[in-house]
Structure 1
Amino acid sequence: MGHREDLLEGAKRCLLEKGFVRTTARDIVKESGTNLASIGYHYGSKDALLVQAYVSLIEGVGASFDPGVGGKVTELPGSLERFQEVWANIIRSVPESRAIWLLSFELIFQGDRLPEVRKLLAEAQEEGRSGLVSMFSGIPEGELDKETVATEGRFYQTVLNGLMVQWLFDPDTATDADQLTEGLRRVIAGMAKSADR
């Protein structure tokens, strides 16, 4: 590995151990075995490096959500069964990725104090929305239109954030994938009845 990769890996370890606000450039250098000048050279700033490290952590967790990983046959994309399957995978990932989700909420609460970080993360959110739509719909990200990402992607992202709050706050009472799917099923049935009137 070169300095760029060493910095990224060191930054990820620092984020998981100390969080975003408490991680210093010196912490990253110590953890990565590099030097302070490398941060500026490869990433521009400590905050930009930490954002990249955070995005990399989230992408790693997100890969476990997709029922299609490993080429196994899964529920039909776009179906309620697929909806349930993806949410079950997401919920299953919470215990081992708890530190990453807590980090996400740290960043949300610190957003006003870190405008540069907030801007970088806002840009990364669209990519996250695209990935979520692809998992549920089975449509490759490159084939999704902007309107779908802006609507369905925001829907899934909103549900994901709410679900994570519940699972981090009190896993014993948090909504599970079956309850979430049954709730959606009832909403769809209610709307269908309304349309028939």
Structure 2
Amino acid sequence: MGNREALLAGAKQCLIDCGWARTTVRDIATAAGVNHAAIGYHFGSREALLTQALVHAVDELSAELAHRAPTDTPEQAWQGLIDTFTTHRTLWVAQLEAVVQAERSPDIREHLARAQREGRAGLGGSVPLALLTGLMLQSLVDPQHAPTGNEVIAELRSLTTTP
């Protein structure tokens, strides 16, 4: 594994362990086993590296979910996604932290915007992405009372039926 790949792997681990805001250049370099100057050489900045690491981590999670989705019922598919808010909690929190950073960084904003466009395409539109975002926030803030996959589908069906 070269320095670039080691830095990506180290940054992903740091995102999981420390989150976006608390990950330092030194943390990443230590996790990657390289000199911290390699971050600038390969990525230009800590933010660019963290953005790439976050995109890779989300891609890996998406591939994991896509692998099981073809045989799932809608309820099972949403429950599988909802479960990731617990099993991959730190990754979801890191995404929220990145959104806050995007307010002041055009580079981060562009990477996240591209990922969001891909997310809309993968989920089937803006409404499922909005639903995902809302469910994520509910699950992170109040996991004991967040809706289940069955509840999500039942509520969606109730919205589409006429009284």
TM-score over 0.5 for the pair: yes
Match of 1:163 in 2: 135
Deviation per CA, 1:71-118, whole angstroms, max 9, x where unpaired? x9615xxxxxx4322101111222210111111222223332334322
Deviation at 1:10, TM superposition (A): 0.6
Q: Find runs of 4+ consecutive structure 1 residues off by over 3 angstroms.
A: none
The equivalent position to 1:114 in structure 2, one of 105, 128, 135, is: 105
Match of 1:124 in 2: 115
Tell me, yes or no, if structure 1 residue 177 matches structure 2 residue 143.
no
Larger relative helix fraction: 2
The equivalent position to 1:103 in structure 2, one of 94, 119, 125, is: 94
Match of 1:42 in 2: 42
Deviation at 1:38, TM superposition (A): 2.3
Larger radius of gyration: 1
Please say if residues 12 and 54 of structure 2, whose CA atoms lie closer than 8 Å, have aligned partners that are also in contact.
yes
Tell me, yes or no, if structure 1 residue 88 matches structure 2 residue 79.
yes
Count how many residue pairs are aligned between Structure 1 and Structure 2: 163
Q: Percent identity?
A: 39
What amino acid sits opposite 1:155 in the alignment?
A: V
Tell me, yes or no, if structure 1 residue 26 matches structure 2 residue 16.
no
**TM-score, normalised via structure 1 length:** 0.74
Q: Distance in 1 between matches of 2:54 and 2:35?
A: 20
Q: Distance in 1 between matches of 2:121 and 2:75?
A: 19
Q: Distance in 2 between matches of 1:171 and 1:33?
A: 36
Match of 2:71 in 1: 74
Tell me, yes or no, if structure 1 residue 2 matches structure 2 residue 36.
no
Match of 2:159 in 1: 187
What amino acid sits opposite 2:112 in the alignment?
A: L
Please say if residues 14 and 28 of structure 1, whose CA atoms lie closer than 8 Å, have aligned partners that are also in contact.
yes
Deviation per CA, 1:146-194, whole angstroms, max 9, x where unpaired? xxxxxx2x1111100100111111111111111110111111112xx6x
Q: Distance in 2 between matches of 1:161 and 1:64?
A: 18
Give the number of the structure with larger relative contact order, counting CA–CA contacts within 8 Å between residues 6 or more apart. 2
**TM-score, normalised via structure 2 length:** 0.88
Please say if residues 10 and 32 of structure 1, whose CA atoms lie closer than 8 Å, have aligned partners that are also in contact.
yes
Please say if residues 47 and 117 of structure 1, whose CA atoms lie closer than 8 Å, have aligned partners that are also in contact.
yes
- Where structure 2 has 5 or more consecutive residues not aligned to the other structure, the ranges are none
Secondary structure of residue in 2 paired with 1:20 = helix
Please say if residues 48 and 120 of structure 1, whose CA atoms lie closer than 8 Å, have aligned partners that are also in contact.
no
